[in-house]
């Protein structure tokens, strides 16, 4: 009998630059789990999602096995609500751990006067916490 894979949700800002941080935290989570992991992410082509997808690709290339990903691209054609809907779906898939890489908001039309994290990843991390999923937050 094989152990059920350990599901790790990666959420993060599109302009998250520190690729090594993402790789380190994923490697750490994998090691801690002691079993195969599935990296659940939003398949954004930049930022934390991208770094996570590349880590999975590199792990697979080593032939060690035990690492796969489960991309959840948002249906952006359906409007701006597609991102949050996708995030809820990822959280509701019951990952064991959420890694949130949250850079400051750079939204051009954001009206909040304070410094705060990018909205999508912040909301995803908050929702994961509400659902009782262990969530680790990282900032640049
Ligand atoms: Zn903002």
Mean pLDDT computed over 121-139? 98
pLDDT at 65: 74
pLDDT at 4: 84
Secondary structure class of 138 (helix, strand, coil)? strand
Confidence check: pLDDT of 137 > 80: yes
- CATH for 6-138 (2.40.50, 3.20.20, 1.10.12, 3.40.50): 3.40.50
Query: What's the CA-to-centroid distance between 10 and ligand 1, angstroms?
Result: 20
Query: What's the CA-to-centroid distance between 4 and ligand 1, angstroms?
Result: 38
Query: What's the CA-to-centroid distance between 71 and ligand 1, angstroms?
Result: 25
Give the chain's radius of gyration (CA, Å).
15
Query: What's the CA-to-centroid distance between 7 and ligand 1, angstroms?
Result: 29
> Nearest-5° angle of CA 89, CA 91, CA 124?
100
Q: What is the pLDDT of residues 33-51, one digit of tens each?
A: 999 999 999 999 999 999 9
Closest among 121, 116, 98, 91 to 106, alpha carbons compared: 116
Query: What's the CA-to-centroid distance between 26 and ligand 1, angstroms?
Result: 27
pLDDT at 2: 60
């Amino acid at each position: 009998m094989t152990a059920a894979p350990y599901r790790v949700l990666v959420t993060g800002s599109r302009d998250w630059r520190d690729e090594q941080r993402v790789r380190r935290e994923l490697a750490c989570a994998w090691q801690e789990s002691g079993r195969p992991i599935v990296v659940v992410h939003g398949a954004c082509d930049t930022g934390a999602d991208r770094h996570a997808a590349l880590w999975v690709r590199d792990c697979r290339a080593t032939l060690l096995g035990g690492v796969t990903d489960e991309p959840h691209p948002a249906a952006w054609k359906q409007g701006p609500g597609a991102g949050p809907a996708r995030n809820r779906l990822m959280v509701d898939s019951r990952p064991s751990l959420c890694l949130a890489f949250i850079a400051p908001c750079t939204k051009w039309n954001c009206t909040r006067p304070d410094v705060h994290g990018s909205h999508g990843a912040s909301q995803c991390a908050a929702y994961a916490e509400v659902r009782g999923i262990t969530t680790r937050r990282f900032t640049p």
